[in-house]
């Protein structure tokens, strides 16, 4: 056990530079106005999702018959749909689905991706070949078709959306993680750790993980935006969240038949998606520049 | 022509090139003046970041803009101020009357075009020739820079050449139109020691064959001693001393130049003295000290040095120096302390 | 080069096996009886059972899969449950429409994406650069189906300039809205990639060399920078052609475009397994084939790769 502390001592220099990597990144991120805008959008959205019942003036499911298909005005900021539901409240509640799907689905992708990426990059050999061929198949597979097929099998519902989007996204994370492992694997401090007798598990969790997280964080942030769009697309096609739960994609699908008489029905959910995705994309871009200023 | 009269092919006066960055203004070149005589080899020496490369790039206005900008000065070539001509007109000078050879031959050639394509391009830009003659010219150039099997090599890509060979190709491109001036920006820094001498010899022989003048920019004092006739020493973007090689090496009048001489091994001195590196490091170009820029590292610094920057003046004929105490050095009143 | 291409074609085989296997599993798990799909309601259990035996779907999964693969090797994609027509003839009806739309989208992507990327790199931090940066950032965030709907409302409904949906007589007017919709995200990616690639290339020493030779800015950018900068962009565009065909489902749905994406989507909803598997397989093959073309183009653009491959294959 003495060895272990020795190893960690040997690599403290690295740790120091790592913590300063994150500190530097944060400092650069704070100076980046667009990234801060993205962060603000993301935080506000999460707050809206959490406090939806306090913000929404109406019940998102309740139908107020006499007030159906009203255009935006004082009583209903975003108007009402044909069933007399308040679109503003539905958009507010819709943020819950989007944020949940974005975060949980990408979380699943990251976990699967890291697992296979580690297997592939660290151990190499047959597991590497097999996993990378599997990743090729996932890349060759049209993303949205895959999501549709999985949803057809699993049936609609939010948990199934998590699974479908989560499963489809793993390959990119595996590739990124494999790449950074390969580049770190032969660095001196890893060899030093190995020479001092650290086992694989320890090397991966203590040394490789912390040093290769930057690209994963960047890609995951951007991917949350993608996941939100895919959820909207699935709900738009009728495979996602089932009515009456408000989802932005579903609201757009419902508006499709009333483009001419109630165009506001499609305007606001669409804007909500754009702003949300924009928040994650700006934050992701900012993180990328912050972690690697050379890439800008 | 002006050249024959005063024997000067190029005159740079009070050149100032600044870089405007987020962190502030970098005065990379701050008031450089020098002249290049017909047929001579002029050396510009200085440490990394002393502004010698920026000086070279400024002559052909190759500074990336933004962030760089030539804010003041004159660059007189053949009586014409290159800083005042239009971009179009400047193109007629670049690669034709004045050519450049860069530091790193590994990255200075375009990887996606053949050597032949790139050499022939240099010719076609400035001369109207038949395709057949262009190929003939290119072969002649490759022979001149001593590349074996030139016919075969024309169809090769840069990655199929070694570093030394690539630098030969760069030289071939540079002399394609028999320029009057060849500017070589650290032409041998990126090469193996054995190759360095070959390339320098080649440049010397090319200079004689094409009757051109050379500005060689380097931090290698050995190169300067061997090939240059006059030397300008730069420090932190400013010229500190400018004279003949003999004067610079044997009668330096600026403490920085003296320091440089002490920091190199000299084969010609019997008494083997210890090498003395110059203490301290060059100042930040963004935040230059008031007064003399070298004073913080200078062991002869006096009160005056703190207040006023010493101008570059001709202490004796043909020997310019920027130091308040130059006359004292000249008279021998000041001996080298320690 | 020849051996390289052969090698690459052989590499496709495991991908085909993997994709068909995944699709087979997915379609097999769907709790729906193809026999019931084919025979209308009220068919006797005996008739259903006869059909199942005839179709071979009473057999276990691996037997079915083996049968499908041996047929596939002969070039037979099977018969649609729903339409009782050979899958290849259904696909032949719809693929051309999708390919035409994808080509229209690719053209938009190449022309607008490249030009915007080059301009914003050359005129860095200018008004045009900012415009390109802002619009590409937004384009990535807009769901294609929503963009399509908005354009339908604006250009079809309010202004009445362009047809809102369908292929009509197949004239160019019908292509504009769906093609722009389909191309939006990729055009943004191409513009961004071109910009950053150009900026990176333009900071290279050989660009300074080119200027020092006396070339005009136009020639430096057009000859020396562009060819180098295009290398990563070509990959992106190539990968995209495949993605565009699969990703066309949403665009085809919004614009009622009779393409293959929509056909596969409907087939999934109708549990029409042969159409789903056959259609997707062709998509994947196109994707892989385009990848191959991209690699060959790559070798043309970048002699360093050509050289390495020569060494590997000789």
pLDDT tens digits, B44-73: 988 877 888 889 889 988 888 778 888 888
Helices (H), A72-169: 87-118, 125-140, 143-154, 158-168
pLDDT at A17: 55
Is 80 exceeded by the pLDDT of residue B289?
Answer: no
Mean pLDDT on B199-205: 83
The domain ranges of chain A are 24-67+92-295
Is 70 exceeded by the pLDDT of residue B338?
Answer: no
User: Of the spans A124-138, B281-295, C190-204, which averages the highest pLDDT?
Assistant: C190-204
**HSE-up of residue C131 (Cα within 13 Å, Cβ side):** 7
Q: Which is more confident, B74 or C284?
A: B74
Lowest mean pLDDT among A118-122, A288-292, B209-213: A288-292
Q: Report which DSSP code applies to B288.
A: P
Structure-block tokens of residue B42: 């002029």
Interface of C with A (CB under 8 A): 14-15, 18-19, 22-23, 26, 29-30, 137-138, 140-143, 145-146, 149-150, 152-153, 157, 196, 242-243, 245-247, 249-250, 253-254, 261, 264-265, 268-269, 271, 276, 280, 283-284, 287-288
Following DSSP, what letter does each residue of A239-262 receive, concatenated?
A: SSSPTTS--HHHHHHHHGGGTTT-
Distance, in Å, from the CA atom of B240 to the CA atom of B237, rounded to the nearest integer, reads 9
Per-residue confidence band for A46, with pLDDT thresholds at 50, 70 and 90:
very high
pTM of the model: 0.76
Distance, in Å, from the CA atom of C303 to the CA atom of A58, rounded to the nearest integer, reads 65
Q: Which is more confident, C213 or A6?
A: C213
Indicate the CATH number of A24-67+92-295 among 3.40.50.300, 3.40.50.1400, 1.10.3720.10, 3.90.230.10: 1.10.3720.10
Q: Which is more confident, C36 or C267?
A: C267
Q: Answer whether A197's CB lies under 8 Å from A6's CB.
A: no
**DSSP helix, strand, coil percent of chain C (3-state; round to 5):** 80, 0, 20
Mean pLDDT on B174-181: 87
- Is the CB of residue B92 less than 8 Å away from at least one CB of chain C? yes
Instruction: With H, G, I as helix, E, B as strand and everything else as coil, classify residue C160.
Output: coil
Distance, in Å, from the CA atom of C135 to the CA atom of A79, rounded to the nearest integer, reads 28
The domain ranges of chain C are 94-313
By Cβ distance, the residue of C137, C141, C280 closest to A145 is C280
pLDDT at B255: 84
Mean pLDDT score across all residues of chain A = 81
- With tokens 């989507």, the residue in question is C265
Q: Which is more confident, B263 or C194?
A: C194
pLDDT at A279: 93
pLDDT in tens, B84-111: 888 888 888 898 889 998 888 888 888 8
pLDDT at C46: 78
Is 80 exceeded by the pLDDT of residue B283?
Answer: no
Which residues in chain A have their CB less than 8 angstroms from residue C284's CB? 140-142
* Pairs of residues, one from chain B and one from chain C, whose beta carbons lie less than 8 Å apart: 76
- Is the CB of residue C205 less than 8 Å away from at least one CB of chain B? yes
Torsion (CA) B266, B268, B269, B274 in degrees, nearest 10: 20
- What ipTM was reported for this prediction? 0.83
User: Of the spans A138-142, B311-315, C41-45, which averages the highest pLDDT?
Assistant: B311-315
Residue of A nearest to C153 (CA): A259
Per-residue confidence band for B274, with pLDDT thresholds at 50, 70 and 90:
low
Is 90 exceeded by the pLDDT of residue C162?
Answer: no
Is 80 exceeded by the pLDDT of residue A151?
Answer: yes
Question: Minimal Cα–Cα distance from A149 to chain C, Å?
Answer: 7
* Cβ contact C303–B99 (<8 Å): no
For residue C245, the Cα-to-chain-centroid distance in whole angstroms is 3
Q: Write the CB contacts of C227 (distance below 8 Å, at least 6 apart in sequence).
A: B112, B113, C301
Question: Minimal Cα–Cα distance from C57 to chain A, Å?
Answer: 18
Give chain B's largest Cα–Cα span. Answer: 69
- Is the CB of residue B112 less than 8 Å away from at least one CB of chain C? yes
* Cβ contact C203–B64 (<8 Å): yes
Element (H, E) at B17: strand B8-21
Indicate the CATH number of C94-313 among 3.40.50.150, 3.40.50.300, 1.10.3720.10, 3.30.70.860: 1.10.3720.10
Element (H, E) at B112: none
* Cβ contact A143–C280 (<8 Å): no
Structure-block tokens of residue B314: 């001709």
Instruction: With H, G, I as helix, E, B as strand and everything else as coil, classify residue B121.
Output: helix
pLDDT at B2: 43
By Cβ distance, the residue of C143, C152, C288 closest to A232 is C143
* Cβ contact C243–A281 (<8 Å): no
Mutate to test the interface with C, among A34, A35, A144, A240 (most CBs of C within 10 A): A144
Q: Which is more confident, A152 or C258?
A: C258
Which residues in chain A have their CB less than 8 angstroms from residue C14's CB? 133
Q: Which is more confident, B289 or B164?
A: B164
Q: Which is more confident, C256 or A262?
A: C256
């Amino acid at each position: 056990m003495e060895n272990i502390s020795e190893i960690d001592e040997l690599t403290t220099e690295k740790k120091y530079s790592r913590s300063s990597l994150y500190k530097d990144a944060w400092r650069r991120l704070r100076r980046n106005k667009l990234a801060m805008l993205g962060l603000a959008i993301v935080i506000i959205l999460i707050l809206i999702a959490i406090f939806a019942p306090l913000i929404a003036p109406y019940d998102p499911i309740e139908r107020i018959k006499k007030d159906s298909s009203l255009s935006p005005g004082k009583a209903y900021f975003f108007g009402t749909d044909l069933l007399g539901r308040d679109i503003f409240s539905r958009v507010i509640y819709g943020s819950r689905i989007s944020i949940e799907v974005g975060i949980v689905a990408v979380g699943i992708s990251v976990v699967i991706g890291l697992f296979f990426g580690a297997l592939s990059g660290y151990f190499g050999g047959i597991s590497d070949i097999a996993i990378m061929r599997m990743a090729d198949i996932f890349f060759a597979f049209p993303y949205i078709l895959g999501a549709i097929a999985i949803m057809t099998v699993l049936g609609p519902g939010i948990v199934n959306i998590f699974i479908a989007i989560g499963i489809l996204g793993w390959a990119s994370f595996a590739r990124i993680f494999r790449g950074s492992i390969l580049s770190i694997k032969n660095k001196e401090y890893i060899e030093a750790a190995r020479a001092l007798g650290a086992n694989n598990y320890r090397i991966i969790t203590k040394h490789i993980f912390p040093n290769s997280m930057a690209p994963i964080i960047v890609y995951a942030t951007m991917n949350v935006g993608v996941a939100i769009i895919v959820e909207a697309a699935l709900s738009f096609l009728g495979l996602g969240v089932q009515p009456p739960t408000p989802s932005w994609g579903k609201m757009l699908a419902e508006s499709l038949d009333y483009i001419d008489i109630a165009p506001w029905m499609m305007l606001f959910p669409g804007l909500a998606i754009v702003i949300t995705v924009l928040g994650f994309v700006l934050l992701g871009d900012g993180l990328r520049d912050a972690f690697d200023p050379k890439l800008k | 022509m002006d050249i024959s009269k005063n024997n000067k092919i190029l005159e740079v006066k009070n050149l100032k090139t600044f870089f405007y960055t987020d962190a502030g203004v970098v005065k990379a070149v701050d008031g450089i003046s020098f002249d290049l005589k017909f047929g001579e080899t002029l050396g510009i020496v200085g440490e990394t970041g002393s502004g010698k490369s920026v000086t070279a790039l400024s002559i052909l206005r190759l500074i990336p803009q933004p962030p760089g900008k030539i804010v003041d000065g004159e660059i007189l070539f053949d009586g014409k101020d290159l800083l005042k001509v239009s971009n179009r007109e400047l193109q007629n000078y670049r690669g034709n009357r004045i050519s450049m050879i860069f530091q790193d031959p590994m990255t200075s050639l375009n990887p996606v075009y053949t050597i032949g394509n790139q050499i022939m391009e240099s010719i076609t830009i400035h001369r109207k020739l038949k395709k057949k003659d262009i190929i003939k010219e290119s072969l002649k150039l490759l022979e001149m820079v001593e590349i074996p099997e030139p016919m075969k090599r024309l169809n090769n890509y840069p990655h199929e050449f070694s570093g030394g060979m690539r630098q030969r190709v760069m030289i071939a491109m540079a002399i394609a139109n028999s320029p009057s001036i060849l500017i070589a920006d650290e032409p041998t820094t990126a090469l193996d020691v054995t190759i360095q001498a070959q390339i320098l010899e080649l440049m010397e022989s090319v200079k004689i064959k094409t009757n051109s003048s050379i500005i060689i920019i380097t931090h290698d004092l050995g190169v300067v001693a061997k090939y240059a006739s006059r030397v300008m020493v730069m420090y932190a973007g400013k010229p500190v001393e400018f004279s003949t090689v003999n004067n610079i090496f044997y009668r330096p009048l600026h403490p920085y130049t003296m320091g440089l001489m002490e920091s190199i091994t000299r084969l010609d001195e019997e008494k083997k003295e210890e090498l003395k590196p110059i203490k301290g490091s060059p100042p930040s170009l963004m935040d230059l000290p008031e007064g003399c820029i070298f004073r913080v590292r200078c062991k002869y610094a006096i009160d005056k040095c703190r207040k006023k920057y010493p101008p570059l003046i001709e202490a004796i004929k043909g020997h310019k120096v920027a130091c308040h105490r130059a006359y004292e050095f000249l008279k021998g009143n000041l001996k080298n302390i320690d | 080069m020849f051996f390289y291409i052969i090698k690459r074609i052989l590499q496709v085989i495991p991908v085909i096996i993997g994709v068909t296997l995944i699709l087979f599993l997915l379609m097999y798990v769907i709790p729906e009886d193809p026999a019931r799909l084919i025979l209308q309601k009220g068919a006797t259990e005996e008739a259903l059972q006869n059909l199942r035996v005839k179709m071979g779907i009473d057999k276990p999964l691996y037997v079915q899969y083996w049968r499908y693969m041996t047929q596939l090797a002969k070039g037979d994609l099977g018969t649609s449950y729903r339409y009782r027509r050979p899958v290849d003839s259904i696909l032949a009806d719809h693929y051309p429409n999708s390919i035409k739309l994808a080509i229209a989208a690719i053209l938009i992507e190449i022309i607008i994406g490249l030009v915007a990327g080059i301009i914003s790199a050359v005129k860095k931090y200018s008004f045009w650069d900012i415009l390109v940066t802002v619009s590409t950032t937004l384009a990535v965030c807009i769901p294609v189906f929503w963009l399509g709907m908005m354009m339908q409302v604006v250009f079809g409904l309010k202004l009445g300039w362009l047809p809102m949906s369908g292929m009509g007589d197949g004239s160019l007017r019908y292509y504009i809205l769906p093609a722009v919709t389909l191309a939006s995200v990729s055009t943004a990616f191409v513009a961004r990639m071109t910009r950053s690639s150009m900026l990176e290339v333009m900071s290279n020493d050989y660009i300074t060399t080119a200027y020092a030779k006396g070339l005009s800015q136009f020639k430096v950018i057009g000859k020396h920078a562009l060819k180098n900068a295009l290398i990563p962009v070509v990959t992106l565009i190539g990968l995209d052609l495949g993605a565009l065909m699969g990703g066309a489902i949403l665009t085809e749905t919004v614009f009622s475009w009779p393409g293959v994406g929509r056909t596969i989507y409907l087939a999934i909803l109708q549990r029409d397994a042969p159409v789903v598997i056959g259609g997707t397989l062709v998509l994947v093959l196109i994707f892989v084939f385009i990848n191959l073309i991209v690699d060959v183009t790559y070798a043309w653009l970048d002699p360093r790769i050509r050289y390495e491959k020569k060494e590997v294959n000789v």
